[in-house]
Chains A and B, each alone.
Chain A
């Protein structure tokens, strides 16, 4: 229907002219939308980077199945269990290899400033190469030596410029007050659970944590034989091992970590709440502005009705106004958020990506927010009564 289409064009044109007529008001409306945009972008950004950082550790563990204590809420605070459980898994014919894995938190002394800060120490048999850590420069032989450690260069800068120091010569520092030689680096990344990471052999792990028993491990990593059915092995192991441990596949351990951050720690809720609040505040601002605008132009709208314009046409004007506001507010909001993401990355050392999917979903939210405000404001439009014009 060409006439319907052109009528929509007319109402959009009128909406645009009315919006741009009063620049100060338009500016206020755009600020409202921009505010909502930035708030939603930041909340989603923090949430997504949190979620992304959760997967970092489990994803880097090279294994098919994982054993952890049922009381373990999250890897950074794992409850140790006896390594017998891990070795017992070897009795399954499809299990190729088992690898005990240790996780601990301990202070690390910045070799430059001598300031101490807690990081996460991961321990494994070096020859297991359980961790396919990108950029690992330390060899298994180096890590097998007494008192050696590898450092995560994506840790926060408070741990010291380790990579730069290593380039100049050998570096040592104190980890849990024990002198350790830094023999190499890798790249894992800081997360909400750990400001930094370091990797040691199982022997050195016990040296750093003298009150930990070598018999008590935090995770058991299992590699199954090539061609074996991982899920079937998992289910078989669940029957084989004690009641007090979980047996997860890779997806399972990642999901378990996610569930902890999403539910046990109400961080997911907090960010979701922030998104909703941002949208509500934005909606109220846009509603206020559209409502006042309609109220101020009530006699103009009534005049249009007297001239033969339908109620529907006037609704379209309000609708078009809200779509325009969403568009005009979103564009600066997007660029401002992009800058703030970079700022946040430089402060938190946690990646905050801006994928297209996020841009689209935030725009959709802001658009729906503006249209809802428009629908609320439209009710005022019904009061435009042409009979009152004479």
Chain B
């Protein structure tokens, strides 16, 4: 028997595509955000509202990732924004190669912001860099306030946490301790920005929009 030291990074093929994407976006000074959450947290509703509310200020496009169907891309296109649907055929995350292909299909010259709506999954997508400028984790209050403690990776790596569906908190429909989530997330990630929002009613959305517009300004510099 003979042992051979290898010391080689795994998933380096993904990292190479991620780097290509990142370089392309940096050259074009475009902001690209990777949206990650459990299924049903309201990512698409959030994006559709963001695109509609900011349509006079920012030009946005979306890369949609789902196991099957182009339902989400159709919802985005209804706002007149361009959307490319990636059907992963069962894979639990988007890869940088898939995003690379999708970026070629988007009308990049006509966009300020590219959102990647990852496959609904709080675990796997956090392990695959796509070349984005930042990750945004969306957590809806119905999922419970223990998620940063249970799924630390995505909260440690995200620039922003959007706590969605806060309209469900009124009337005690759902028990959710925003303070606990904030403490747990900041323990992992001191600089994470936290915005409690309701994509349905629009509550809290202006703070998210301000952050988004500031990021676009910084990316253009």
> Does A associate with B in a complex?
no
